[in-house]
Chain A
Amino acid sequence: ETGVTQTPRHLVMGMTNKKSLKCEQHLGHNAMYWYKQSAKKPLELMFVYSLEERVENNSVPSRFSPECPNSSHLFLHLHTLQPEDSALYLCASSVQRWEVTQYFGPGTRLLVL
């Protein structure tokens, strides 16, 4: 595997479910990011991790809970989501935090029913 991978690629969940999104980067980078991409809206930065420490949390609802156990893996735990949370969730990484050159994964397409 190369680059940034994300699993699952598609996810359908009910509002009472709990699920997790997984991201893995094989680039030896130190920073990882979660973004939300909704139709006709700009890409929104949700969380930034640098060396496994969360350095940014952009007023994201608590029903989204990130976890970064090591510099290669990033999770986004989901619980009691709302239909408006349906979107493409993208993971990205960069050598250091806030670097311009970020490498994105293919995303997880989430549908909340």
Chain B
Amino acid sequence: QKEVEQDPGPLSVPEGAIVSLNCTYSNSAFQYFMWYRQYSRKGPELLMYTYSSGNKEDGRFTAQVDKSSKYISLFIRDSQPSDSATYLCAMSGGNQFYFGTGTSLTVIP
């Protein structure tokens, strides 16, 4: 079983839509849950992270962690063409980082 599972997409939505990106994981020891955005030909860029369970909001982005279900989500409100990128979830625990495969998102003007 993979440590982290992420639907690779691709996901295509119209501008202004609400986007939901999700990951599941198997290791209950994970404490930090991160979301990275990676534009084409660039390295990943940390969008936001959450410690343990709960929600965190930053502008149009909201991260949710449900440790009981081992499920994390990233919501993007009022999506913009500039949000078109690959989104990677990641988790850390025990001095190790585990990443999802990434979900490719295209926001159509």
Binding site for B on A (CB under 8 A): 4, 40-45, 56, 90, 92, 98, 100-107
Closest to B93 in A: A98
* Inter-chain contacts of B34 with A (CB < 8 A): 100
The number of chain B residues touching the other chain, given as a range, is: 20 to 34
* Inter-chain contacts of A56 with B (CB < 8 A): 95
Do B32 and A100 have beta carbons less than 8 Å apart? Answer: yes
Contact with A along B79-97 (1 / 0, CB 8 A): 0000000001010100111
Q: For chain A, what secondary structure do more than half of its interface residues adopt (helix, strand, loop), or is it mixed? A: loop
Q: A101-B46, A106-B41 are in contact. Are A45 and B97 (CB under 8 A)?
A: yes
Do A98 and B95 have beta carbons less than 8 Å apart? Answer: yes
* Inter-chain contacts of A44 with B (CB < 8 A): 99
* Inter-chain contacts of A42 with B (CB < 8 A): 2, 4, 98-101
30 pairs, A vs B, C-beta closer than 8 Å: A40-B101, A41-B101, A42-B100, A42-B101, A43-B44, A43-B90, A43-B97, A43-B99, A44-B99, A45-B96, A45-B97, A56-B95, A90-B43, A90-B44, A92-B43, A98-B95, A98-B97, A100-B32, A100-B46, A100-B49, A100-B92, A101-B46, A101-B49, A102-B46, A104-B43, A104-B45, A105-B43, A106-B43, A107-B42, A107-B43
